[in-house]
Chains A and B, each alone.
Chain A
């Protein structure tokens, strides 16, 4: 009485078909990533030595290492983070915890989501106009980082807001009903329970800026500058621009060099992601609901 009927067998066949389809899509998705990584490691792997990481480029960037670009990218991302994270978190806290739920708040939220989709070249031009020229920062790390910060602000706000909204509303009500102020509620309940999500989201989003080229190209990144930056008012080389330059602008670059640079850049981003995931696991372990 429990044998499969004709209908069951037909269902099973459709079932298998769909499953196969979805599996193939997944493979299709992962395959290019694996190929890229494979190629990078195959060609670029042998390039990466201590010397490569810790010396300046020489011979018109056809030889030597990448130190100024590496250090420059760390500067650019760090300063951008320092600016966009506090402002972004504060704005998200305001929007999610203080602002009344009305059409104004809703349109601001919508605007922020749309801002995240503005092409980076537009941010670049804004950065030139605002930071390089108007504020007279010149082409400098400061101008480039501020441009990156403006660019990442929307995603920081969105990532933070999502983590804040993931904290159950019942917790907030419990606090308010005991006479907690908004800030006390945020400080003692909302933030402690969303900090892991906020940090993870923010780091994931911001690590992507390490690879951005357009926003820094006109605002602070230099073509060739074999010195380490001394302050935020200096120009600097950057990994992304360096990769672009040696791939397309300089004759006589050995074939493996760009692969080496790309591999280092991608490793930097992956390392940041790994850090954020580690962060989440540590903090998640302490979460109590």
Chain B
């Protein structure tokens, strides 16, 4: 998939964002490579979530948010007037810090997005079952839940819920997956399992993952972005960043000097 499409999945130019009068992003110029895992690190409040939430334009629901600059996803400007917001959201899936399964069965959670986007087109039960199995298999959850697909999704463990939240994005075939600290509500074992899953998805999707966990960024990503106070300080291959950071701020953060 990555080989056919553009080399850069997300490109921002001079992206500035204000919450009212408070500026949260300053001239963010980024190019996220397609088909790989990029991690985003930086102290709390530096604008990582804000950045993610502007890519799929979920931020603009807040009436007081203003952005300037441009964001392109797969070489298309997401703020262009002819852009249909719902198509952007379909292409750009998002996973949150706290798993947020819908209060529906496991099956209905996974098929939710697919049902939204297929209109009045009829889909057979067996086709739905295929979609279900494929999505759950991709997130390594199929064997655990295949015998109780009609149970409420909220009865799953947090780790399983988070996997489900990733799985339900897949049937609408997104190209970009944004993950905002997807493991921070999980225990170490759950974190490991979800990390493993993210690694499995690599190649099929462009993944941008925010994390507080430096070890995780190091283990689970190929490129790494370091942000500080609303600006991108450094963006390089992960190993370079952790072995030989160019900027002093990066080095300080990695060594734990910002807490």
Contacts and interface: CB of A to CB of B under 8 A. Distances in A.
A is bound by B: yes
B98 A170 contact: yes
Interface string A164-177: 00001011011111
Contacts of A178: 89-90, 93, 112-113, 116, 168-169, 172
A184 B103 contact: no
Nearest to B61: A176
Contact of A188 (B56, B112, B165): B112
Contacts of B63: 100-102
B96 interface: yes
Most B CB contacts (10 A, CB to CB) among A101, A193, A288 go to A288
A288 B116 contact: no
Nearest to A174: B100
A289 B168 CA distance: 18
Nearest to B169: A178
B94 interface: yes
A101 B61 CA distance: 9
A189 interface: yes
Nearest to B86: A179
Contacts of A175: 102, 112
Nearest to B62: A101
B9 to A, nearest CB: 17
A173 B103 contact: no
A195 to B, nearest CB: 13
B105 to A, nearest CB: 8
Nearest to A184: B116
B104 A177 contact: no
Taking residues whose C-beta sits less than 8 angstroms from the other chain, chain B's interface range is: 20 to 34
A180 interface: yes
B100 A171 contact: yes
A287 interface: yes
A181 interface: yes
B178 to A, nearest CB: 9
A288 B152 contact: yes
A183 to B, nearest CB: 11
Interface in B140-161: 152, 154
B169 A176 contact: no
Interface of B: 56, 58, 61-63, 86-90, 93-94, 96, 98, 100-104, 112-113, 116-117, 152, 154, 165, 168-169, 172
Given A170-B96, A288-B104, 8 more contacts: A101-B62, A171-B103, A174-B165, A177-B56, A177-B94, A178-B90, A179-B113, A288-B152
Q: Which 6 A-B pairs have the closest CB atoms?
A: A179-B89, A170-B100, A178-B113, A179-B90, A100-B63, A289-B103
17 contacts: A168-B100, A170-B96, A171-B103, A174-B96, A175-B102, A176-B89, A177-B56, A177-B58, A178-B90, A178-B113, A178-B116, A178-B168, A179-B86, A179-B116, A179-B117, A189-B102, A287-B103
